[in-house]
């Protein structure tokens, strides 16, 4: 792919009023490995260009090509934090470990090349670092969207704690979990597939304690699991809701999952403490706004339900 090409996508965020011009991001493609600073050995030599293939951006990710110098912020050479796993599952139970992803700093153009089949990289890539990675790692894109969701900020009485950017392969899956945030999840391009459980399903959702570990990606492109040192065990949900082991976790048969697909230009309000498992279309791009939850009666109710579940031995 010509390094002088910009890829841009239209963003029809729900915050835009009818008739307003849609926003546009542009990703300026550069040759990975010729621009951007890296720490020693970090990501170097692992993103390899190849000839032919690709083209997902013209369909699944709604990416199109425009001449160099076109409108929008050019961010292709900007390095971003990328979660890398052998199977697409980051922050998930693997065997008797809770395994977190390897993290690489890669130019955004390299990530796009891998997603389009124009380059190769070991494992499955997912730009998913939270803690407000959009303003901290991709500030060039901030002018292309509102800093918050106005109706949500008014309803919740606060501004978001974090604004996160998500981009990844179809193989990247988010395991079943819950967050202490009110989540406004906006899909820019592609689709996200959510499997949801309300907090009231807690008695049917198992938790177990796991030794935390991290994937390490070697220079040869292989993965190894390394235990975290002197860290307490992590409570996590071992069950895969797409293929639940009902022999081992029979109570889960009583849970009532909800399924929701969020498409480009749509927004999902995911309340705090709702359990969610997430899949996506290849090259899906999303932005979400995290608002800190209020530790009110809702939180107290969930804590009571959680304590009763443990006391009854339902885990």
Instruction: List pLDDT tens digits, range 114-142.
Output: 999 999 999 999 999 988 999 999 999 99
Residue 75 banded pLDDT, cuts 50, 70, 90: confident
Compute the Cα dihedral for 247, 253, 255, 261 and give only its sign: positive
Residue 231 banded pLDDT, cuts 50, 70, 90: confident
**pLDDT for 71:** 42
**pLDDT for 31:** 36
Residue 230 banded pLDDT, cuts 50, 70, 90: confident
231: three-class secondary structure by DSSP: coil
Q: Could you give the CA distance from residue 71 to residue 223 in angstroms, rounded to a whole number?
A: 40
The answer to whether residues 151 and 14 touch, using CB atoms and an 8 Å cutoff, is no
Q: What is the pLDDT of residues 31-58, one digit of tens each?
A: 333 333 333 334 434 666 553 333 333 3
Q: What's the pTM?
A: 0.80
* Residue 313 vs residue 66, higher pLDDT: 313
Compute the Cα dihedral for 55, 24, 279, 237 and give only its sign: positive
Q: Which residues contact 36 (CB under 8 A, 6 or more apart)?
A: 30, 77, 78, 79, 107
**pLDDT for 16:** 37
Instruction: DSSP letter for 133, please.
Output: H
Instruction: DSSP letter for 72, please.
Output: S
């Amino acid at each position: 792919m010509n390094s002088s090409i910009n890829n841009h996508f239209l963003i029809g965020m729900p915050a835009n009023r009818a008739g307003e011009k849609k926003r546009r991001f542009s990703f300026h493609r550069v040759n990975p490995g010729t621009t951007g600073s890296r720490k020693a050995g970090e990501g170097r030599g692992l993103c390899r260009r190849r000839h032919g293939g690709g083209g997902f951006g013209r369909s699944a990710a709604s990416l199109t090509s425009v001449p160099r110098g076109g409108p929008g912020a050019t961010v292709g050479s900007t390095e971003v934090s990328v979660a890398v796993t052998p199977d697409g599952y980051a922050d998930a139970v693997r065997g008797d470990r809770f395994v977190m992803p390897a993290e690489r700093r890669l130019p955004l153009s390299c990530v796009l090349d891998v997603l389009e089949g124009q380059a190769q990289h070991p494992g499955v890539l997912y730009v998913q670092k939270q803690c407000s990675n959009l303003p901290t790692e991709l500030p060039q894109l901030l002018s292309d969207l509102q800093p918050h969701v106005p109706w949500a900020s008014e309803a919740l009485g606060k501004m978001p704690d974090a604004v996160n950017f998500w981009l990844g392969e179809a193989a990247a899956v988010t395991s079943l979990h819950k967050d202490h945030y009110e989540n406004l999840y906006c899909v820019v391009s592609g689709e996200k597939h959510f499997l949801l459980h309300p907090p009231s399903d807690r008695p049917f959702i198992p938790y177990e304690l796991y030794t935390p570990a991290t994937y390490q990606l070697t220079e040869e492109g292989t993965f190894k699991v390394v235990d975290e040192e002197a860290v307490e065990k992590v409570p996590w949900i071992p069950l895969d809701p797409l293929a639940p082991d009902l022999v081992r976790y029979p109570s889960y048969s009583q849970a009532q999952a909800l399924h929701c697909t969020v498409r480009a230009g749509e927004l999902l309000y995911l309340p705090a403490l709702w359990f969610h498992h997430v899949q996506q279309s290849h090259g899906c791009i999303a932005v979400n706004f995290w608002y800190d939850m209020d530790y009110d009666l809702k939180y107290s109710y969930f804590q009571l339900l959680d304590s009763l579940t443990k006391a009854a031995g339902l885990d």
